[in-house]
Amino acid sequence: MNSTIVAPATYPAESAIGVIRISGPETFPVLKKIFKFKFFKNNFDNIKSHSAHLGFIKDKENIIDEVLLIVFKSPKSYTGEDMAEISCHGNPFIINKILELLIKNGCKMAEHGEFTKRAFLNGKISLSEAEAVADMVSSKNDISLNLALKQLLGEEKNLILNLREKIINVISLIETDLDFSDSVENIEKNKIKNLLNDILETINKLIHSADKGIMLKQGIKLVITGKPNVGKSSLLNSLLKKEKAIVTHIPGTTRDIIEDTVNIEGLPFKIYDTAGIRKAKGLIEKKGIEKTIKTIKTSDLVLFLIDGSRKLDKNDFNIFSEVKRKNFIIVINKNDLKLKYTEEKISDIFKTEKNRIVTISALKNKGIKNLTKMIKNIIINKDNFILSGDIVISNLRHKLALKNAAQSLKKAIKNLNAFEVAIIDIKNAINFIDGIIGKITDEHILDSIFKNFCIGK
């Protein structure tokens, strides 16, 4: 980390301002070559940290732009190094000219996430907090933003540190008993077992929350399915409140998966309109139906549409045989026409609770609010879904680390008759826990974590 890095911190498009970020030991020597203070009483010899200065970026005697320079001195900066941010006019041409000038005078272009990586390596933030920075930038709804914010503020880190301390206390108890007991038999094995089981229960709760957290962050997978011409594309358009899918009276219009994102009752969804399931008429339709079945299998919630104005047929029942294994809602569509089925009748036919059946008209946008409320209720009530309050793990890497820690603790409980072996298992659990907050030395793992960050983050 001896190099001084630079990168644009704002999107390269015409805007009011553009921000360029610099970090490293040569930050101020480089700036001294190209930045001229507008007010001559200021200079880099007596510059104070966290101060802002108006001036000019100059290439020799040529002024490139009038800018605002904000300086941060080590160690009181985001990266822990000397840092600066140049706020210039948001013209991509100007931004590139300043970047070229900084690189010509000794900076190098930052890699993806290198500023945050340096903050982690310099002990300014934990690894879980660093990952939260990327989640904050990519958040597309209130829930994922709230999850990322909790992680960024260190709530997850504090929970993990508390968990780690409990595990260490168990090791201390075992080692103390080994040192002062006349025989291994005198060690309180049941007490240790109970302590480990309590820790294991906490970890398992966090793992369970991770499934919910990851789903919230990535978007709940909502699949619309049914036979051709029951109104799937009309329902997609109605939920999205835009014309995303082509709607015609011709069965089989949708041949492939149509995907989009939408907030429904405050929850983030990835919504999929699928090809109508029936006996395929041609290779393209066959492949579309195969993709539909695969999409249903990986869904979090399925909306099974039936045409309430027509009699059910074997296609409806074949589709339901795929859907009934999933979390689902039966949607009776086309209530703008004369319906052949009531919700009670459909409940009897498909042996389904009435709170999973709703009647709508996708074309006329009737009953959609009832559907969205049902969607929210089913998602929230499933497994006591957590929306706020408790800490929710929302990172797959953290979930895998917790699962590995849990596996090690299970081994330790089995090996309590051989304490020397059990201690090794417990220490392995600590190593997995440490990996969440940052005790990782493998450079390849760190690179894979930070590669998805923005250049200037």
Q: Is the per-residue pLDDT at 277 higher than 80?
A: no
Q: Is the per-residue pLDDT at 23 higher than 90?
A: yes
The more confidently predicted of residues 81 and 260 is 81
SS (H, E, C) the chain: CCCCEEEECCCCCCEEEEEEEEECCCHHHHHHHHEEECCCCCCCCCCCCCEEEEEEEEECCEEEEEEEEEEECCCCCCCCCCEEEEEEEECHHHHHHHHHHHHHCCCEECCCCHHHHHHHHCCCCCHHHHHHHHHHHHCCCHHHHHHHHHHHCCHHHHHHHHHHHHHHHHHHHHHHHHHHCCCHHHCCHHHHHHHHHHHHHHHHHHHHHHHHHHHHHHCEEEEEECCCCCCHHHHHHHHHCCCCCCCCCCCCCCCCCEEEEEEECCEEEEEEECCCCCCCCCHHHHHHHHHHHHHHHCCCEEEEEEECCCCCCHHHHHHHHHHCCCCEEEEEECCCCCCCCCHHHHHHHHCCCHHHEEECECCCCECHHHHHHHHHHHHHHCCCCCCCCCCCCCCHHHHHHHHHHHHHHHHHHHCCCCHHHHHHHHHHHHHHHHHHHCCCCCHHHHHHHHCCCCCCC
Distance CA 273, CA 161 (A): 44
Q: What is the pLDDT of residue 32?
A: 93
Q: What is the pLDDT of residue 444?
A: 56
- Summarised one tens digit per residue, pLDDT across range 403-447 is 999 999 999 999 888 878 888 999 999 999 988 887 655 565 566
Q: Which CATH class is domain 5-125?
A: alpha beta
- Summarised one tens digit per residue, pLDDT across range 29-64 is 999 999 999 886 767 888 889 999 999 999 988 999
Q: Report the relative pairing of strands 301-307 and 328-333 from DSSP bridges.
A: parallel
Domain residue limits, the chain: 5-125, 132-215+395-437, 219-381
Q: Is the per-residue pLDDT at 179 higher than 80?
A: no
Q: 219-381 has which CATH code? A: 3.40.50.300
Q: Is the per-residue pLDDT at 70 higher than 90?
A: yes
What residues pair up with 8 in beta bridges, in sequence order? Answer: 20
- How many CB atoms sit inside 10 A of residue 69's CB? 23
Q: What percent of the chain has pLDDT over 90?
A: 36
Contacts of 268 (CB under 8 A, 6+ apart): 140, 141, 143, 144, 216, 219, 220, 261
Q: What is the mean pLDDT of the chain?
A: 82
- Summarised one tens digit per residue, pLDDT across range 200-253 is 999 998 888 787 777 777 788 999 998 888 888 889 988 888 664 444 444 444
Q: What is the pLDDT of residue 4?
A: 95
Contacts of 191 (CB under 8 A, 6+ apart): 173
Q: Is the per-residue pLDDT at 345 higher than 50?
A: yes
- How many CB atoms sit inside 10 A of residue 409's CB? 24
Verify cis geometry, omega within 30 degrees of 0, for the bond prior to 75.
yes
Which range (93-102, 157-166, 291-300) has the least confidence? 291-300
- Mean pLDDT, residues 250-274: 72
Q: Is the per-residue pLDDT at 357 higher than 90?
A: yes
- The topology under which CATH files domain 132-215+395-437 is Four Helix Bundle (Hemerythrin (Met), subunit A) (1.20.120)
